[in-house]
Amino acid sequence: MTAATACCMPVARPRQSWRPVGARSCLVFMALAASCHGTAGDVSTDARGDAPEAAGLDQSGSADTDQAIPPPDRVLHFEVGSLQTAATTGLSPPATFALPPGARATFVTLMGPPGVYLALSRWQSGGGPLLIVPGWVSGTHAPLLCTQGCAFRQSPRPEQQVSLAPNAPLPVQLAGTHEIVVQAFSWTGKDPAKPVAAKVAVAVDAVYGDPLPSGRLAVNLCLTGAGGLTAALAPKHERIAQAVATLRETFAAIAVDVTVTYMDVPGAHFVVHDASDLQVAELFRTAKGAPSGINVFLIQELSFEDGAKSLPMMGLSGGVPGPLGPAGGAQAGVVVALKLEVGQPDRLGVAIAHEIGHFLGLYHASDAAAADGTQLHDQLTDTPESDAANLMHWSPQPHSTKLSAQQAAVIKQSPWVAPP
Protein backbone atom coordinates (compact mmCIF):
# COMPACT_ATOMS: atom_id res chain seq x y z
CA MET A 1 0.00 0.00 0.00
CA THR A 2 1.01 3.59 -0.42
CA ALA A 3 -0.19 6.76 1.17
CA ALA A 4 -1.43 7.75 -2.26
CA THR A 5 -4.37 5.39 -1.95
CA ALA A 6 -5.84 7.10 1.10
CA CYS A 7 -9.19 8.80 1.18
CA CYS A 8 -9.27 9.26 4.90
CA MET A 9 -7.49 11.74 7.09
CA PRO A 10 -5.03 10.97 9.89
CA VAL A 11 -5.07 13.38 12.80
CA ALA A 12 -1.30 13.71 12.81
CA ARG A 13 0.87 14.04 9.71
CA PRO A 14 2.74 10.73 9.64
CA ARG A 15 3.86 11.01 5.98
CA GLN A 16 5.84 7.94 4.82
CA SER A 17 5.07 5.87 7.90
CA TRP A 18 1.31 6.08 7.37
CA ARG A 19 -0.23 3.34 5.27
CA PRO A 20 -4.01 3.77 5.18
CA VAL A 21 -6.13 0.82 4.19
CA GLY A 22 -8.63 2.25 1.78
CA ALA A 23 -10.82 4.86 0.23
CA ARG A 24 -14.29 5.16 1.68
CA SER A 25 -17.32 7.50 1.72
CA CYS A 26 -20.66 8.03 3.59
CA LEU A 27 -24.19 8.44 2.23
CA VAL A 28 -27.74 7.06 2.33
CA PHE A 29 -29.97 6.24 -0.62
CA MET A 30 -31.97 8.96 -2.26
CA ALA A 31 -34.76 7.34 -4.31
CA LEU A 32 -33.91 7.48 -8.00
CA ALA A 33 -36.40 9.18 -10.24
CA ALA A 34 -36.52 6.68 -13.07
CA SER A 35 -36.36 2.92 -12.82
CA CYS A 36 -36.13 0.15 -15.41
CA HIS A 37 -35.65 -3.33 -14.01
CA GLY A 38 -34.40 -6.27 -16.01
CA THR A 39 -31.36 -8.28 -17.02
CA ALA A 40 -28.33 -7.37 -19.05
CA GLY A 41 -29.21 -5.72 -22.32
CA ASP A 42 -32.79 -4.81 -21.42
CA VAL A 43 -32.09 -1.15 -22.07
CA SER A 44 -31.47 -0.64 -25.77
CA THR A 45 -30.06 2.19 -27.85
CA ASP A 46 -32.28 4.70 -29.57
CA ALA A 47 -34.23 3.12 -32.44
CA ARG A 48 -33.18 5.91 -34.78
CA GLY A 49 -29.65 4.56 -34.68
CA ASP A 50 -28.04 7.70 -33.29
CA ALA A 51 -24.26 7.36 -33.02
CA PRO A 52 -22.82 7.17 -29.50
CA GLU A 53 -21.91 10.61 -28.21
CA ALA A 54 -18.76 11.58 -26.36
CA ALA A 55 -19.80 12.95 -22.99
CA GLY A 56 -17.57 14.26 -20.29
CA LEU A 57 -16.66 17.17 -18.07
CA ASP A 58 -14.91 19.95 -19.95
CA GLN A 59 -12.05 22.01 -18.58
CA SER A 60 -14.46 24.41 -16.85
CA GLY A 61 -16.36 21.58 -15.16
CA SER A 62 -19.31 21.50 -17.59
CA ALA A 63 -20.57 18.54 -19.59
CA ASP A 64 -20.68 18.39 -23.39
CA THR A 65 -24.38 18.65 -24.31
CA ASP A 66 -24.37 18.40 -28.11
CA GLN A 67 -26.54 15.27 -28.36
CA ALA A 68 -28.20 15.21 -24.94
CA ILE A 69 -31.83 14.08 -25.04
CA PRO A 70 -33.51 14.91 -21.73
CA PRO A 71 -35.32 11.81 -20.40
CA PRO A 72 -38.57 12.05 -18.40
CA ASP A 73 -36.46 11.85 -15.24
CA ARG A 74 -32.87 12.67 -14.44
CA VAL A 75 -31.65 9.17 -13.52
CA LEU A 76 -32.20 5.85 -15.30
CA HIS A 77 -31.75 2.85 -12.98
CA PHE A 78 -31.76 -0.84 -13.91
CA GLU A 79 -30.45 -4.17 -12.67
CA VAL A 80 -27.94 -5.94 -14.88
CA GLY A 81 -28.27 -9.20 -12.92
CA SER A 82 -25.92 -11.48 -10.94
CA LEU A 83 -22.50 -12.63 -12.09
CA GLN A 84 -20.43 -15.50 -10.68
CA THR A 85 -16.69 -15.03 -10.35
CA ALA A 86 -14.34 -18.02 -10.69
CA ALA A 87 -12.29 -19.28 -7.75
CA THR A 88 -9.14 -19.57 -9.86
CA THR A 89 -9.18 -16.08 -11.38
CA GLY A 90 -11.73 -14.09 -9.38
CA LEU A 91 -13.20 -12.97 -12.70
CA SER A 92 -16.77 -13.16 -13.98
CA PRO A 93 -17.87 -13.85 -17.54
CA PRO A 94 -18.43 -10.64 -19.56
CA ALA A 95 -21.81 -8.95 -19.14
CA THR A 96 -23.33 -6.25 -21.31
CA PHE A 97 -25.80 -3.43 -20.88
CA ALA A 98 -26.88 -0.62 -23.19
CA LEU A 99 -27.60 3.05 -22.62
CA PRO A 100 -29.71 5.34 -24.81
CA PRO A 101 -28.17 8.57 -26.13
CA GLY A 102 -27.84 11.51 -23.75
CA ALA A 103 -26.24 9.82 -20.75
CA ARG A 104 -23.76 12.14 -19.04
CA ALA A 105 -22.49 9.91 -16.23
CA THR A 106 -22.74 6.22 -15.41
CA PHE A 107 -22.48 4.55 -12.00
CA VAL A 108 -21.89 0.77 -11.95
CA THR A 109 -22.67 -0.71 -8.52
CA LEU A 110 -21.47 -4.13 -7.34
CA MET A 111 -22.79 -6.04 -4.31
CA GLY A 112 -21.27 -9.27 -3.02
CA PRO A 113 -20.49 -11.29 0.12
CA PRO A 114 -19.15 -9.67 3.32
CA GLY A 115 -15.38 -9.21 3.38
CA VAL A 116 -14.94 -9.82 -0.37
CA TYR A 117 -13.35 -6.94 -2.29
CA LEU A 118 -15.12 -6.01 -5.51
CA ALA A 119 -14.11 -4.00 -8.56
CA LEU A 120 -14.43 -3.94 -12.33
CA SER A 121 -11.62 -5.80 -14.04
CA ARG A 122 -12.70 -4.53 -17.45
CA TRP A 123 -15.11 -1.85 -18.68
CA GLN A 124 -15.62 -0.92 -22.29
CA SER A 125 -18.11 1.87 -22.77
CA GLY A 126 -20.52 2.33 -25.65
CA GLY A 127 -18.26 0.73 -28.23
CA GLY A 128 -15.54 3.22 -27.36
CA PRO A 129 -12.14 2.69 -25.73
CA LEU A 130 -11.59 0.67 -22.58
CA LEU A 131 -12.31 2.67 -19.43
CA ILE A 132 -10.76 -0.06 -17.26
CA VAL A 133 -8.06 -2.34 -18.64
CA PRO A 134 -7.67 -5.94 -17.34
CA GLY A 135 -4.65 -6.58 -15.16
CA TRP A 136 -4.69 -3.26 -13.33
CA VAL A 137 -4.96 -5.08 -9.96
CA SER A 138 -1.23 -5.87 -10.11
CA GLY A 139 -0.21 -2.30 -10.98
CA THR A 140 0.89 0.73 -8.97
CA HIS A 141 -1.40 1.63 -6.04
CA ALA A 142 -3.30 -1.66 -6.50
CA PRO A 143 -5.31 -3.33 -5.16
CA LEU A 144 -6.80 -0.30 -3.39
CA LEU A 145 -6.82 2.11 -6.30
CA CYS A 146 -6.82 1.71 -10.06
CA THR A 147 -4.64 4.41 -11.59
CA GLN A 148 -2.80 2.46 -14.30
CA GLY A 149 -5.32 1.07 -16.78
CA CYS A 150 -8.26 3.14 -15.54
CA ALA A 151 -9.28 6.14 -17.63
CA PHE A 152 -11.36 7.07 -14.61
CA ARG A 153 -10.07 5.92 -11.24
CA GLN A 154 -11.89 3.29 -9.24
CA SER A 155 -11.47 2.15 -5.65
CA PRO A 156 -12.25 -1.51 -4.79
CA ARG A 157 -14.28 -1.97 -1.60
CA PRO A 158 -15.49 -4.97 0.42
CA GLU A 159 -19.09 -6.10 -0.25
CA GLN A 160 -20.25 -2.91 -2.01
CA GLN A 161 -18.37 -0.97 -4.68
CA VAL A 162 -19.19 1.73 -7.24
CA SER A 163 -17.31 2.77 -10.39
CA LEU A 164 -18.10 6.13 -12.00
CA ALA A 165 -17.46 7.52 -15.47
CA PRO A 166 -16.68 10.32 -15.97
CA ASN A 167 -15.08 11.66 -12.80
CA ALA A 168 -12.55 13.76 -14.70
CA PRO A 169 -12.60 16.08 -17.77
CA LEU A 170 -11.96 13.34 -20.31
CA PRO A 171 -14.28 12.41 -23.20
CA VAL A 172 -16.20 9.15 -22.86
CA GLN A 173 -18.79 7.42 -25.05
CA LEU A 174 -21.67 6.37 -22.82
CA ALA A 175 -24.44 5.72 -25.34
CA GLY A 176 -24.50 2.22 -26.81
CA THR A 177 -23.51 -1.20 -25.50
CA HIS A 178 -21.16 -1.52 -22.54
CA GLU A 179 -19.22 -4.65 -21.61
CA ILE A 180 -17.95 -5.27 -18.07
CA VAL A 181 -16.06 -8.01 -16.23
CA VAL A 182 -16.30 -8.15 -12.43
CA GLN A 183 -13.35 -9.02 -10.21
CA ALA A 184 -13.63 -10.44 -6.65
CA PHE A 185 -10.68 -10.94 -4.33
CA SER A 186 -9.66 -11.25 -0.70
CA TRP A 187 -6.99 -9.04 0.79
CA THR A 188 -5.37 -8.88 4.21
CA GLY A 189 -3.75 -5.48 3.78
CA LYS A 190 -0.29 -7.03 3.43
CA ASP A 191 -0.29 -10.06 1.15
CA PRO A 192 -1.16 -9.90 -2.56
CA ALA A 193 -4.84 -10.02 -3.47
CA LYS A 194 -6.21 -13.55 -3.89
CA PRO A 195 -9.05 -14.45 -6.30
CA VAL A 196 -12.38 -15.43 -4.78
CA ALA A 197 -15.47 -17.19 -6.09
CA ALA A 198 -18.44 -14.93 -5.37
CA LYS A 199 -21.92 -14.14 -6.60
CA VAL A 200 -22.04 -10.43 -7.41
CA ALA A 201 -25.15 -8.39 -8.19
CA VAL A 202 -24.68 -5.56 -10.70
CA ALA A 203 -26.80 -2.43 -11.09
CA VAL A 204 -26.43 0.64 -13.29
CA ASP A 205 -27.50 4.25 -12.77
CA ALA A 206 -27.17 6.62 -15.73
CA VAL A 207 -27.49 10.37 -15.23
CA TYR A 208 -28.88 12.57 -18.01
CA GLY A 209 -28.36 16.26 -18.63
CA ASP A 210 -25.67 18.64 -17.40
CA PRO A 211 -24.54 18.81 -13.80
CA LEU A 212 -27.21 20.87 -12.10
CA PRO A 213 -26.45 24.60 -11.81
CA SER A 214 -27.79 24.33 -8.26
CA GLY A 215 -29.22 21.56 -6.13
CA ARG A 216 -30.21 20.09 -2.78
CA LEU A 217 -28.30 17.55 -0.73
CA ALA A 218 -29.90 15.72 2.19
CA VAL A 219 -27.63 14.65 5.05
CA ASN A 220 -28.52 12.44 8.02
CA LEU A 221 -26.37 13.14 11.06
CA CYS A 222 -26.30 9.74 12.80
CA LEU A 223 -25.63 10.07 16.53
CA THR A 224 -24.25 7.00 18.28
CA GLY A 225 -24.37 8.59 21.73
CA ALA A 226 -20.64 9.38 21.57
CA GLY A 227 -19.83 12.54 23.49
CA GLY A 228 -23.26 12.40 25.10
CA LEU A 229 -24.81 13.61 21.84
CA THR A 230 -28.33 12.58 20.85
CA ALA A 231 -30.68 13.66 18.09
CA ALA A 232 -32.48 15.84 20.61
CA LEU A 233 -29.33 17.53 21.96
CA ALA A 234 -27.14 17.82 18.84
CA PRO A 235 -28.95 20.73 17.11
CA LYS A 236 -28.32 22.93 20.18
CA HIS A 237 -24.76 21.74 20.80
CA GLU A 238 -22.31 24.56 20.01
CA ARG A 239 -19.64 22.40 18.36
CA ILE A 240 -22.14 20.46 16.26
CA ALA A 241 -23.94 23.65 15.24
CA GLN A 242 -20.63 25.15 14.07
CA ALA A 243 -19.72 21.97 12.15
CA VAL A 244 -23.09 21.96 10.39
CA ALA A 245 -22.67 25.65 9.54
CA THR A 246 -19.24 24.93 8.00
CA LEU A 247 -20.70 22.03 6.01
CA ARG A 248 -23.56 24.14 4.68
CA GLU A 249 -21.31 27.11 3.84
CA THR A 250 -18.84 24.88 1.97
CA PHE A 251 -21.52 23.45 -0.30
CA ALA A 252 -23.43 26.73 -0.60
CA ALA A 253 -20.33 28.13 -2.32
CA ILE A 254 -21.09 25.76 -5.25
CA ALA A 255 -24.86 26.41 -5.07
CA VAL A 256 -25.78 23.18 -3.26
CA ASP A 257 -28.16 23.60 -0.32
CA VAL A 258 -27.53 21.08 2.46
CA THR A 259 -30.38 20.04 4.75
CA VAL A 260 -29.58 18.09 7.92
CA THR A 261 -31.71 15.53 9.76
CA TYR A 262 -30.59 14.33 13.21
CA MET A 263 -31.16 10.70 14.14
CA ASP A 264 -30.07 8.28 16.85
CA VAL A 265 -28.43 4.97 15.87
CA PRO A 266 -27.20 2.08 18.09
CA GLY A 267 -23.64 2.29 16.74
CA ALA A 268 -20.29 1.78 18.44
CA HIS A 269 -18.36 4.72 19.89
CA PHE A 270 -14.95 3.28 18.97
CA VAL A 271 -14.39 1.85 15.47
CA VAL A 272 -11.35 0.26 13.81
CA HIS A 273 -10.63 0.68 10.11
CA ASP A 274 -8.65 -2.29 8.78
CA ALA A 275 -8.47 -4.46 5.67
CA SER A 276 -11.75 -6.25 6.43
CA ASP A 277 -13.61 -3.12 7.60
CA LEU A 278 -16.14 -5.32 9.37
CA GLN A 279 -16.51 -2.82 12.21
CA VAL A 280 -17.16 0.02 9.78
CA ALA A 281 -19.75 -2.07 7.91
CA GLU A 282 -21.45 -2.95 11.20
CA LEU A 283 -21.67 0.75 12.06
CA PHE A 284 -23.16 1.66 8.68
CA ARG A 285 -25.78 -1.09 9.00
CA THR A 286 -27.20 0.55 12.14
CA ALA A 287 -28.83 3.23 9.96
CA LYS A 288 -31.05 0.77 8.09
CA GLY A 289 -34.41 2.43 7.46
CA ALA A 290 -33.02 5.96 7.66
CA PRO A 291 -34.63 8.66 5.51
CA SER A 292 -33.12 9.49 2.13
CA GLY A 293 -29.82 11.30 2.52
CA ILE A 294 -26.12 10.91 3.15
CA ASN A 295 -25.56 9.15 6.47
CA VAL A 296 -22.80 10.78 8.50
CA PHE A 297 -21.93 8.77 11.61
CA LEU A 298 -20.37 10.63 14.52
CA ILE A 299 -18.33 8.37 16.82
CA GLN A 300 -15.81 9.04 19.56
CA GLU A 301 -12.69 7.52 18.01
CA LEU A 302 -11.72 6.07 14.62
CA SER A 303 -8.40 4.29 14.24
CA PHE A 304 -6.48 2.68 11.40
CA GLU A 305 -4.87 -0.68 12.28
CA ASP A 306 -2.74 -3.03 10.19
CA GLY A 307 -1.57 -5.43 12.89
CA ALA A 308 1.65 -3.52 13.55
CA LYS A 309 0.41 -0.08 14.51
CA SER A 310 -2.69 1.93 15.34
CA LEU A 311 -3.15 5.51 14.16
CA PRO A 312 -5.99 7.94 14.90
CA MET A 313 -8.10 9.08 11.96
CA MET A 314 -10.51 11.96 11.48
CA GLY A 315 -12.85 10.37 8.95
CA LEU A 316 -13.61 7.64 6.46
CA SER A 317 -15.93 7.28 3.47
CA GLY A 318 -17.68 4.16 2.17
CA GLY A 319 -16.47 4.60 -1.39
CA VAL A 320 -15.39 7.03 -4.10
CA PRO A 321 -18.19 7.35 -4.96
CA GLY A 322 -20.35 5.67 -2.35
CA PRO A 323 -23.17 3.26 -3.17
CA LEU A 324 -26.47 4.50 -4.58
CA GLY A 325 -28.43 2.04 -2.45
CA PRO A 326 -30.65 2.09 0.62
CA ALA A 327 -29.31 2.92 4.06
CA GLY A 328 -27.86 0.03 6.00
CA GLY A 329 -25.42 -1.27 3.39
CA ALA A 330 -21.81 -2.18 4.18
CA GLN A 331 -20.45 0.99 2.54
CA ALA A 332 -23.52 3.23 2.90
CA GLY A 333 -22.14 6.06 4.97
CA VAL A 334 -19.26 8.17 6.15
CA VAL A 335 -17.84 8.13 9.64
CA VAL A 336 -16.20 11.05 11.43
CA ALA A 337 -14.46 11.02 14.83
CA LEU A 338 -15.39 13.56 17.50
CA LYS A 339 -12.19 13.18 19.52
CA LEU A 340 -9.84 16.17 19.43
CA GLU A 341 -6.17 15.23 19.63
CA VAL A 342 -3.87 17.43 21.72
CA GLY A 343 -2.53 20.34 19.71
CA GLN A 344 -4.91 19.79 16.79
CA PRO A 345 -7.46 22.38 15.62
CA ASP A 346 -11.15 21.54 15.48
CA ARG A 347 -11.86 20.39 11.92
CA LEU A 348 -15.16 18.60 12.48
CA GLY A 349 -17.19 20.54 9.91
CA VAL A 350 -14.44 20.31 7.28
CA ALA A 351 -13.98 16.58 7.98
CA ILE A 352 -17.70 15.94 7.41
CA ALA A 353 -17.69 17.94 4.16
CA HIS A 354 -14.47 16.19 3.01
CA GLU A 355 -15.88 12.69 3.50
CA ILE A 356 -19.13 13.66 1.77
CA GLY A 357 -16.97 14.89 -1.11
CA HIS A 358 -15.48 11.39 -1.40
CA PHE A 359 -18.94 9.81 -1.31
CA LEU A 360 -20.04 12.03 -4.18
CA GLY A 361 -17.07 10.96 -6.30
CA LEU A 362 -14.12 13.22 -5.44
CA TYR A 363 -10.62 11.86 -4.85
CA HIS A 364 -7.94 13.70 -2.92
CA ALA A 365 -6.74 16.71 -4.89
CA SER A 366 -3.29 15.72 -3.59
CA ASP A 367 -2.30 12.75 -1.46
CA ALA A 368 0.52 12.52 1.04
CA ALA A 369 3.94 11.88 -0.48
CA ALA A 370 5.01 8.22 -0.60
CA ALA A 371 8.28 6.93 0.85
CA ASP A 372 10.01 7.37 -2.51
CA GLY A 373 8.91 11.01 -2.72
CA THR A 374 6.26 10.49 -5.39
CA GLN A 375 2.87 12.06 -4.87
CA LEU A 376 -0.49 11.20 -6.41
CA HIS A 377 -2.86 13.93 -7.57
CA ASP A 378 -6.40 13.75 -8.88
CA GLN A 379 -7.27 13.78 -12.60
CA LEU A 380 -8.92 17.20 -12.50
CA THR A 381 -7.09 20.00 -14.26
CA ASP A 382 -8.25 22.92 -12.09
CA THR A 383 -7.13 21.65 -8.65
CA PRO A 384 -3.64 23.02 -7.86
CA GLU A 385 -1.24 20.43 -6.49
CA SER A 386 -0.83 20.36 -2.71
CA ASP A 387 -3.34 23.18 -2.22
CA ALA A 388 -4.14 23.04 1.50
CA ALA A 389 -7.09 25.40 0.94
CA ASN A 390 -8.90 22.75 -1.12
CA LEU A 391 -11.55 20.68 0.67
CA MET A 392 -10.13 17.46 -0.81
CA HIS A 393 -6.52 17.96 0.32
CA TRP A 394 -5.33 14.75 2.00
CA SER A 395 -5.10 16.49 5.40
CA PRO A 396 -7.55 19.42 5.35
CA GLN A 397 -7.34 22.22 7.87
CA PRO A 398 -10.11 24.48 9.24
CA HIS A 399 -9.67 26.81 6.23
CA SER A 400 -9.80 23.97 3.66
CA THR A 401 -13.23 24.68 2.19
CA LYS A 402 -12.49 25.55 -1.45
CA LEU A 403 -13.95 23.50 -4.32
CA SER A 404 -12.95 23.97 -7.97
CA ALA A 405 -15.36 24.18 -10.90
CA GLN A 406 -14.58 20.61 -11.96
CA GLN A 407 -14.99 19.31 -8.42
CA ALA A 408 -18.37 21.09 -8.28
CA ALA A 409 -19.38 19.44 -11.56
CA VAL A 410 -18.55 15.95 -10.26
CA ILE A 411 -20.63 16.66 -7.14
CA LYS A 412 -23.63 18.02 -9.05
CA GLN A 413 -23.79 15.08 -11.49
CA SER A 414 -24.37 12.72 -8.56
CA PRO A 415 -27.90 11.35 -8.11
CA TRP A 416 -27.53 12.31 -4.45
CA VAL A 417 -27.83 15.96 -5.49
CA ALA A 418 -31.46 16.72 -6.34
CA PRO A 419 -32.80 19.64 -8.37
CA PRO A 420 -33.62 22.69 -6.23
Check whether residue 290 and residue 198 sit in a common domain.
no
Domain holding 53, by residue range, is: 34-72+75-208
| Residue 402, domain member (yes or no) | yes
Over 50: is that where the pLDDT of 67 sits? no
Residue 37: CB atoms within 10 Å: 9
Which residue, 21, 117, 60, is CA-closest to 408? 60
Check whether residue 203 and residue 345 sit in a common domain.
no
pLDDT at 262: 98
Q: Mark which of 150, 174, 208 sits at the end of a domain.
A: 208
| Residue 15, domain member (yes or no) | no
User: How many Å apart are CA 140 and CA 370, to the nearest integer?
Assistant: 12
pLDDT at 57: 54
Overall residue count recorded for the chain in this entry: 420
| Residue 276, domain member (yes or no) | yes
| Residue 253, domain member (yes or no) | yes
Check whether residue 108 and residue 179 sit in a common domain.
yes
Residue 290's CATH number = 3.40.390.10
Number of structural domains (the chain) is 2
Contacts of 288 (CB under 8 A, 6+ apart): 326, 327, 328
Q: What is the DSSP letter of 375?
A: -
Check whether residue 356 and residue 281 sit in a common domain.
yes
Check whether residue 307 and residue 406 sit in a common domain.
yes
| Residue 16, domain member (yes or no) | no
Check whether residue 45 and residue 149 sit in a common domain.
yes
pLDDT at 352: 98
Check whether residue 253 and residue 395 sit in a common domain.
yes
Check whether residue 131 and residue 222 sit in a common domain.
no
Over 60: is that where the pLDDT of 33 sits? no
pLDDT at 5: 32
* Tally of CA atoms within 13 A in the half-sphere of 298 that contains its CB: 28
Q: Model-level pTM?
A: 0.84
User: How many Å apart are CA 298 and CA 283, to the nearest integer?
Assistant: 10
| Residue 18, domain member (yes or no) | no
| Residue 239, domain member (yes or no) | yes
Residue 232: CB atoms within 10 Å: 10
Q: Mark which of 150, 183, 208 sits at the end of a domain.
A: 208
pLDDT at 9: 45
Over 80: is that where the pLDDT of 61 sits? no
Check whether residue 277 and residue 184 sit in a common domain.
no
User: How many Å apart are CA 319 and CA 336, to the nearest integer?
Assistant: 14
Could you give phi then psi for residue 15, rounded to 5 degrees? Answer: 35, -120
What is the pLDDT confidence band of residue 16, given thresholds at 50, 70 and 90?
very low
CB 271 within 8 A of CB 283: yes
Secondary structure in 3-state letters for 77-121: EEEEEEEECCCCCCECCCEEEEECCCEEEEEEEEECCCCCEEEEE
Q: Bigger pLDDT: 148 or 176?
A: 176
**What average pLDDT score do residues 122-128 get?**
86
Of 60-64, 124-128, 324-328, 405-409, give the range with the top mean pLDDT.
405-409
What is the pLDDT confidence band of residue 99, given thresholds at 50, 70 and 90?
very high
Check whether residue 192 and residue 253 sit in a common domain.
no
Residue type, 318: G
pLDDT at 68: 39
| Residue 17, domain member (yes or no) | no
Q: What is the DSSP letter of 284?
A: H
* Region of residue 353 (phi > 0: left; psi between -120 and 50: alpha; otherwise: beta): alpha
Interval 366-380: pLDDT, tens: 888 877 778 889 999
What does the mean pLDDT of the chain come to?
Answer: 83
Which residue, 128, 129, 131, 127, is CA-closest to 119? 131
Could you give phi then psi for residue 229, rounded to 5 degrees? Answer: -85, 135
User: How many Å apart are CA 204 and CA 108, to the nearest integer?
Assistant: 5
Q: Mark which of 167, 187, 208 sits at the end of a domain.
A: 208
pLDDT at 397: 93
Check whether residue 217 and residue 128 sit in a common domain.
no
**What average pLDDT score do residues 152-160 get?**
93
Residue 140's CATH number = 2.60.120
pLDDT at 71: 52
Relative orientation angle of helices 238-252 and 348-359, to the nearest 10 degrees: 50
Check whether residue 257 and residue 151 sit in a common domain.
no
pLDDT at 147: 83
Contacts of 168 (CB under 8 A, 6+ apart): 57, 152, 153, 378, 379, 380, 406
